[in-house]
Amino acid sequence: GATIVGYGFSTALTGFIMSLDNMAALFILPYIGALSDRTRTRIGRRKPFILVGAPLAALAFIGIPLLAGAPLPLFMAAVFGTLLTMDFFRTPLIALMPDLTPSPLRSQANGVINLMGGLGAVLAFLIGGRLFDYAPWASFAFGALLMLAACATVLIFVREPVAPEAADGEVGLLAALRGVARDPDRSAIALLAAIFCWFLAYSA
């Protein structure tokens, strides 16, 4: 069986480290999403982020089990590297769905995405779990390879629609949030609050 190497962290500290992804996402994901919206390249707005972020995330992710037992700063570098590189391309990748899908079909498209996520979770449990029993690095490598295969499929076979020209006075993230807060229609705030509560409950 696999040999598990730890650092003697308390349960509270372990939980804090595992929540770093969500805390980093508060600051990184909105910025990257807004940057992706403004990006104009020959291959599209979203693909450059996937092309750069996915390989780096795969390398950092595999580094987590390989550096387990190494000096703590090296291990944490792999953890932080994984979080940062995943956040670098996660929002642009998710944004491809509304980019490609007509508005009336987006609920169905989101359902398909959730279905595929469920299938991925089943694969991770059935195959990744057995690989972990063999060697922890094997399960991480399996996850990294699946992620690279999925991102390569998007890069090769998905054609981004032509994006509108970026406007000089394009609304920034903070300005957009201020607009939502000042809007007399409180539907957007209610929706954001519902999403916040949903993710809070899910994470808990």
pLDDT at 62: 95
Name the phi and psi angles at 59, rounded to 5.
Answer: -65, -45
163-188 confidence digits (pLDDT tens): 776 555 555 667 777 887 888 888 88
Selection from 96, 95, 97, 79 nearest residue 24 by Cα: 79
- Residue 162 above 70 pLDDT? yes
pLDDT at 167: 56
> Picking from 75-84, 92-101, 158-167, 181-190, which range would have the lowest pLDDT averaged per residue?
158-167
CA distances to 21, 48, 70, 92, 151 from 52, rounded to whole Å, are 19, 6, 27, 12, 11
Selection from 130, 155, 183, 139 nearest residue 53 by Cα: 155
104-146 confidence digits (pLDDT tens): 888 898 898 889 888 888 888 889 888 988 888 999 999 999 9
pLDDT at 3: 62
11-59 confidence digits (pLDDT tens): 888 888 878 777 777 788 888 988 998 899 999 999 999 999 999 999 9
pLDDT at 171: 56
- Residue 4 above 70 pLDDT? no
Round to whole Å and give the CA distance between 112 and 105.
11
pLDDT at 1: 57
The predicted model scores a pTM of: 0.80
The length of the chain is 204
- Residue 97 above 80 pLDDT? yes
pLDDT at 17: 81
Query: Phi-psi bin for 5: left (phi > 0), alpha (psi -120 to 50), beta?
Result: beta
Over pLDDT 70: what percentage of the chain? Answer: 93
Q: What average pLDDT is seen over the chain?
A: 86
Name the band, by pLDDT with cuts 50, 70 and 90, for residue 2.
Answer: low
Name the band, by pLDDT with cuts 50, 70 and 90, for residue 152.
Answer: very high
Selection from 150, 151, 138 nearest residue 64 by Cα: 138
For the segment 180-197, the average pLDDT, to the nearest whole number, is: 85
